[in-house]
Amino acid sequence: MPHPSTTLIIGAGLSGLTAACELAAAGKRVTVLEQEGERNLGGQAFWSFGGLFLVNSPMQRRMGIKDSLELAMQDWMGTAAFDREEDYWPRKWAEAYVTFAATEKYEWLKARGLRYFPVVGWAERGGYGAIGHGNSVPRFHVTWGTGPGVVAPFIQLAQEAVTKGLIDFRFRHRVDELEIINGAVKGVRGSILRASAAVRGAHEPATVTGDFHFEASQVIITAGGIGGNHDLVRANWPSRLGKAPQHLLSGVPQHVDGRMLGISQQAGARIINPDRMWHYTEGIRNWAPIWRQHGIRILPGPSSIWLDGGGKRLPAPLFPGFDTLGTLDYLMHSGYEHSWFILDQPIIKKEFALSGSEQNPDLTNKQWRQVLKRAVGKRATEPVEAFKEKGPDFIVAGGLSEMVDRMNALNNGVPLHYTDIFAQLHARDAQLDNKFCKDAQIMAIRNARQYLGDRLIRTAPPHKILSQTPLIAVKLHILTRKSLGGLATNLDSQVLNADNQPIGGLFAAGEAAGFGGGGMHGYRALEGTFLGGCLFSGRVAGRAAVKG
Ligand SMILES: Cc1cc2nc3c(=O)[nH]c(=O)nc-3n(C[C@H](O)[C@H](O)[C@H](O)COP(=O)(O)OP(=O)(O)OC[C@H]3O[C@@H](n4cnc5c(N)ncnc54)[C@H](O)[C@@H]3O)c2cc1C
């Protein structure tokens, strides 16, 4: 039984670790309850690409990018599009988080040893106008060491606190019940699960070997979102995005099961914005899966031609990497859940990145020599070339006719016609005969290449695709990832009840709290904002719990 003054933290992902480190730094005792084994310490963040949203950072300035708090706030609010009464606290969290990203975040992480790949990435480019969705400038900073590089300093701090007797990790401890009496938390009950030899990320069977009951006057919920539970994703699917998809890939391990959210709600906590989720439309089946229905997200540059499942080119500005939610909305109303990228070797070489630490061994293992290969030669990174060769969604063909034949074998019985696809590609290619044109995607490519980072490693020079050999087609699936809604919290991370009143001693952070407030992203994200959201809200929750 933990000491009576101990704060219990449910979940040992990045947000839980951050909160635990804050408490330990103030000399407080913490017990971290984690349903998975020790191998999974760090949760999803370990698997992440380590992309962090920073505003007006030294790396941006070095790349000649002019950014500011004002511009970032405008982008965030245009992207979030808050429009509900319950967005009161989410909006406050958004303001606090963007301010953090523009001020303290860089130095705070630098003091913990975080460093970045020098070329800042440009995610969610928008395309609607200055005050609409999207990043006006590149802000996606890839951590040197990717996800493991983000988590490592917090694991190290936590381990130091373990040796001092301040943090106690209880792995294979699954919380099944929150005890809330007279509006205040009193403790948790749960099951002890059998230890498992499963590798990190693989499903650990939940065989119950015992139970536990820990009393505590402070509990922090950092149990993650719902992306690994497709039933919950479908149950929360908003009608504005059409019918819930029948076929989904999982971009997260199975422990992202959403179960703790239901348990919290049953105990009286308020969940808001459960219909706001962040799923990707560029998912590919992993040829070497670790978890069930394991999919990988392509982080695309802007040049691939994007066709829906019926073979029709997506409308402007739904170009690769411009508007994730807008593309999902379009696809879900197109009659087809899947879609296609058509491209060639120069585009795949320069523009295909795969999200995830294990898909970027050069950056994850901090191997400069390997990283430099991204900028030279004709081959894409090894993991991308491996997908080209072994991925079930990749077609590499000698010409368009062969490619369309092979696409038809994967197109769920819907015929694609060579003449239609040829006509669209031919018309697009003809727009390159002048330095100016009316094709919005080509204009966007030319704009992207005004940014040094894109010109160096992210955007291929505009060129005719039909004259290239080989041609490449990639079948894309919807891939679940993040929950944007969650437990409603005030600016002190206190969980609110149905009457919007704080539940005594109960806090929440990270994805479980919609990264703060119950949905600081609103409807859409600017990317790199989830890890940062865990760090920020974990820090706020930890500090609030220190105050008690
Ligand atoms: C492949 C991949 C790439 C990504 N790339 C990026 C990126 O580049 N930038 C970015 O900002 N974000 C990225 N993300 C998202 C980001 O990693 C996550 O949103 C974030 O790490 C979530 O952290 P968390 O602490 O809130 O939850 P989690 O990491 O999900 O941790 C929650 C923990 O709680 C445990 N738990 C759940 N229920 C219970 C219970 N009842 N009892 C005990 N324990 C419980 C779980 O087992 C888990 O370990 C990526 C995610 C993935 C998977």
Question: What's phi and psi for 71, nearest 5 deg?
Answer: -65, -40
pLDDT digit string (tens) for 276-294?
999 999 999 999 999 999 9
Strand positions, DSSP E, 160-276: 167-171, 173-181, 184-193, 208-215, 218-221, 249-250, 271-272
Per-residue pLDDT averaged across 527-540, rounded?
A: 98
Residue to mutate (ligand 1; options 34, 48, 293; most atoms within 8 A of CB): 48
How confident is the model at residue 273, as a pLDDT?
98
The phi, psi pair for 496, rounded to 5°, reads: -95, 155
Q: Is the pLDDT of residue 84 over 90?
A: yes
Residue-level pLDDT at 95: 98
pLDDT-derived band at 144 (thresholds 50, 70, 90) equals: very high
Atom of ligand 1 nearest to the CA of 256: 30
CATH code given to domain 283-479? 3.90.700.10
Please count the other Cβ atoms lying within 10 Å of the Cβ belonging to residue 543. 16
Strand pairing report for 173-181 and 184-193: antiparallel
Query: Has residue 1 got a pLDDT over 80?
Result: no
Q: What digits encode the pLDDT tens for the residues 319-339?
A: 999 999 999 999 999 999 999
Query: Does pLDDT of 4 surpass 80?
Result: no
Q: Which two tokens stand for residue 65?
A: 């990018």
The protein residue whose alpha carbon is closest to atom 30 in ligand 1 is 224
The Å distance, Cα 48 to ligand 1 centre, comes to 9
Structure tokens at 392: 């079930």
The ligand 1 atom at the shortest distance from the C-alpha of residue 41 is 49
Asked if residue 534 has pLDDT above 80, the reply is: yes
- Ligand 1 centroid to Cα of residue 298, in Å, is 19
CA 531 to centroid of ligand 1, rounded, Å = 9
Residue 243: what pLDDT? 96
The domain ranges of the chain are 7-223+484-547, 283-479
Question: In this structure, are strands 7-10 and 30-34 parallel, antiparallel, or unpaired?
Answer: parallel
Which ligand 1 atom is at minimum distance from the Cα of 36? 47
Task: Tell me the pLDDT band of 387, cut-offs 50, 70 and 90.
Answer: very high
Q: Which of 531, 535, 540 to mutate to test the pocket of ligand 1 (most atoms within 8 A of CB)?
A: 531
- What's the token pair of residue 308? 């829906």
Q: What's the rounded Cα separation, in Å, for the pair 426 and 433?
A: 12
Mean pLDDT of the chain: 97
**Spatial separation of the C-alpha atoms in residues 453 and 437, rounded to whole Å:** 24
Tell me what pLDDT residue 376 has: 86
283 CA distance to ligand 1 middle (Å): 18
Task: For residue 136, give every residue at least 6 positions away whose Cβ sits within 8 Å of its Cβ, in sequence order, or none.
Answer: 71, 74, 75, 126, 130
Are 350 and 119 a contacting pair, CB within 8 Å?
A: no
Q: Are 96 and 535 in contact, with CB atoms under 8 Å apart?
A: no
Rounded Cα gap, residues 514 and 490, in angstroms: 12
Helix ranges (DSSP H) in 183-339: 230-235, 259-266, 324-332
| Average pLDDT of span 524-531 | 98
Instruction: Quote the radius of gyration of the chain (alpha carbons, Å).
Output: 23
Ligand 1 geometric centre to CA of 177 (Å): 21
Query: Does residue 5 register a pLDDT over 80?
Result: no
Handedness of CA 385, 388, 390, 392 (dihedral sign): positive
CA distance 283 to 300: 11
Q: By alpha-carbon position, which residue is closest to atom 3 of ligand 1?
A: 48
Measured from the Cα of 49, ligand 1's closest atom is: 8
C-beta separation of 307 from 342 below 8 A: yes
Token pair for 384: 């991308």
The pLDDT tens digits of the residues spanning 460-499 come to 999 999 999 999 999 999 999 999 999 999 999 999 999 9
| Sign of the torsion formed by the C-alpha atoms of 116, 324, 201 and 262 | positive
pLDDT at 443 > cutoff 90 = yes
- Expressed in angstroms and rounded, the spacing between residue 421 Cα and the centre of ligand 1 is 40
Ligand 1 centroid–CA 159 distance in Å is 20
CA of 107 to the centre of ligand 1 (A): 24
> Residue 204: pLDDT band by 50, 70, 90 thresholds?
confident
Kind and range of the H or E run holding 111: helix 104-111
The span from the CA of 447 to the CA of 444, in Å, is 5
**Residue ID of nearest Cα to ligand 1 atom 27:** 224
Task: Name the band, by pLDDT with cuts 50, 70 and 90, for residue 70.
Answer: very high
**Reported confidence tier of residue 511, pLDDT bands at 50, 70, 90:** very high
Helix (H, G, I), strand (E, B) or coil at 510: helix
Nearest CA to ligand 1 atom 52: 48
Separation of alpha carbons 130 and 149, rounded Å: 34
Average pLDDT for residues 201-207, to the nearest whole number? Answer: 92
Q: Name 196's Cβ contacts closer than 8 Å, sequence gap at least 6.
A: 37, 172, 204, 205
- 10, 16 Cβ separation under 8 angstroms: yes
State the pLDDT at residue 2.
80
Report the amino acid identity of residue 23: L
pLDDT (average), residues 110-121: 97
CA-based diameter of the chain, in Å?
74
Can you name the residues that pair with 513 across neighbouring β-strands?
486
Please tell me the distance from the alpha carbon of residue 389 to that of residue 347, in angstroms, as a whole number.
16
Looking at domain 7-223+484-547, does it have CATH number 3.30.565.10? no
* Protein residues whose CB sits closer than 6 Å to any atom of ligand 1: 10-16, 33-36, 40, 43-45, 47-51, 174-175, 222-224, 251-252, 255-256, 259-260, 355-356, 482, 510-512, 528-532, 534
Give the model's confidence band at 373: pLDDT under 50 very low, under 70 low, under 90 confident, else very high.
Answer: confident
Q: How many CB atoms lie within 10 A of CB 478?
A: 24
Compute, in angstroms, the gap from residue 146 CA to the centroid of ligand 1: 14
In angstroms, what is the span from residue 547 Cα to ligand 1's centroid? 26
Backbone angles phi, psi at 376, to 5 degrees: -125, 165
Give the tens place of pLDDT for each residue, 350-364: 999 999 999 999 999
Which residue's CA is the nearest one to ligand 1's atom 13? 48
Query: What is the band of 8 on the pLDDT scale with cuts at 50, 70, 90?
Result: very high
Compute the half-sphere exposure of residue 493: CA atoms within 13 Å on the CB side of its CA: 35
For residues 360 and 381, give the distance between their C-alpha atoms in angstroms, rounded to a whole number. 8
CB 208 within 8 A of CB 438: no
